[in-house]
Amino acid sequence: MVKDQLESKLTEYYEEMVEIRRYLHQHPELSFEEVETPLYIAEYHKKLGHEVREKVGERGVVAKLHGGKPGPTIALRADFDALPMQDEKDVPYKSTVPGKMHACGHDGHTATLLVLAKVLNELKDELTGTIVFIHQHAEEVAPGGAQAMIADGCLDGVEAIYGTHLWATTPLGSIEYTEGALMAAADKFQIDIQGQGGHGAQPHYTKDAILIGSQIVQSIQHIVSRSIDPMEAGVVSVGAFEAVNAYNIIADTAKITGTARSFSEEVRQTMEDRLGQIVSNVAASYGAEATCTYTRGYSALINHAKEAQLIAELAKSIDDTKQVTLSKPQMGGEDFAYYLENVRGAFFFTGAMDPEADFAYPHHHPRFDFDERAMLHASKVLGNVVLKEVGVL
């Protein structure tokens, strides 16, 4: 049975999966700076005899495996960029590059997809159709790599796409999925305030940019509670407030930056509109001026229902799976969203926390790590999805 062969071979190559992951972990490259990583990925696929395109969307890699018989074209995606952080783990495979590390599991995503590609290649005579392996750069930094790769044709002919994220704070053996919204639209805003500075002893001659900014910060916290349907979800968070002056000088300018998160276009538009209104009106009430620059980031990641159900159904058939649960939507962003705007498919979370551990460092933490057995679990789920989609399962 092809399913048994797939899972057996993946288990056989697990150590290679770990070896690849650890190599990538030691040699991280930041978003839009990836050079050696895509070369490594392309070379791996070339050795398998796959059709390979490099520099897709500038830095991505797309490889194709043609099955023994005609059939559908199904894509799998993994990202491979790292983060600008110092690796503080005490492990043999810690990053060798100062100030750069894989702190979100993208090294694991890449290792998972490469070894799965190797196994599917060994089973290609049993497969129908074409499998497309999309290795994406720059997921961590907007505008991301997905849109550029799509524009460069990575989805040409693709009928469905699937992907997963290793989730270090969810126990090993768990699969979390949802039908519909899984991850949020991730937007950025910047508020620039122009007041009138002066001496700290004579505030009546000033238009205090810090005071105005403080009022704006308080006011925008009411957007979600008073302008958004309570049955919907939205977040407005301020991350930085800058107004540099001496202790006895009232600031004439200030800058506030933050993020807005949402799942629906209606909520997203409401937050953008209300931010602009509040910023200009509050500033005007103090006789000052302020502008809000709202920059849209990744769209909300919306799974297709049938494909999400397929993941859940197949995950339950795998011995490594301990539980399959519906995931609550996450306010984090993911540019896998753009693939799902173009073709049917779904994205899911694969638990990657050691079940014996009491604590796991979260994603984007300098001591982030994950249970590498999660890669094997993820590869089996994705592999079975491919088998089902091409009609051999």
| Active site amino acids | 81, 139
Neighbours of 321 (CB within 10 A): 19
CA distances from 225 to 49, 190, 271 (A): 56, 21, 11
Question: Is 104 marked within a binding site?
Answer: yes
Residues ≥6 apart with Cβ < 8 Å to 148: 57, 58, 60
Element (DSSP H or E) covering residue 303: none
| 135 annotated among ligand-binding-site residues | no
The count of C-alpha atoms lying within 13 angstroms of the C-alpha of 89, restricted to the half-sphere facing its C-beta, is 24
Residue in 325, 307, 305 with CA at minimum distance from that of residue 316: 325
Structure tokens at 327: 């995931």
The single-letter code of the amino acid at 15 is E
Tokens in use for 61? Answer: 């890699």
Expressed in angstroms, the distance from the first to the final Cα of the chain is 9
Strand order in the sheet with 253-262: 234-242, 253-262, 185-194, 289-295
Is 364 annotated as belonging to a binding site? yes
Q: Are 128 and 391 a contacting pair, CB within 8 Å?
A: yes
| Secondary-structure breakdown of the chain: helix, strand, coil percentages, each rounded to the nearest 5 | 35, 30, 35
Angle at alpha carbon of residue 334, lines to 332 and 337, rounded to 5° = 125
Structure tokens at 230: 């309570």
Contact 218, 256 (CB under 8 A): no
What angle separates helix 373-389 from helix 2-12, to the nearest 10 degrees? 150
Question: Is 137 annotated as contributing to ligand binding?
Answer: no
Q: Which residues pair with 192 in a beta bridge?
A: 255, 291
Q: Which of 248, 266, 251, 187 is nearest to 214 (CA)?
A: 251
Which residues lie closer than 8 Å to 223 by C-beta, 6 or more apart? 234, 236, 270, 271, 274, 275, 278
Q: Which segments are annotated as binding site?
A: 104, 106, 140, 165, 364
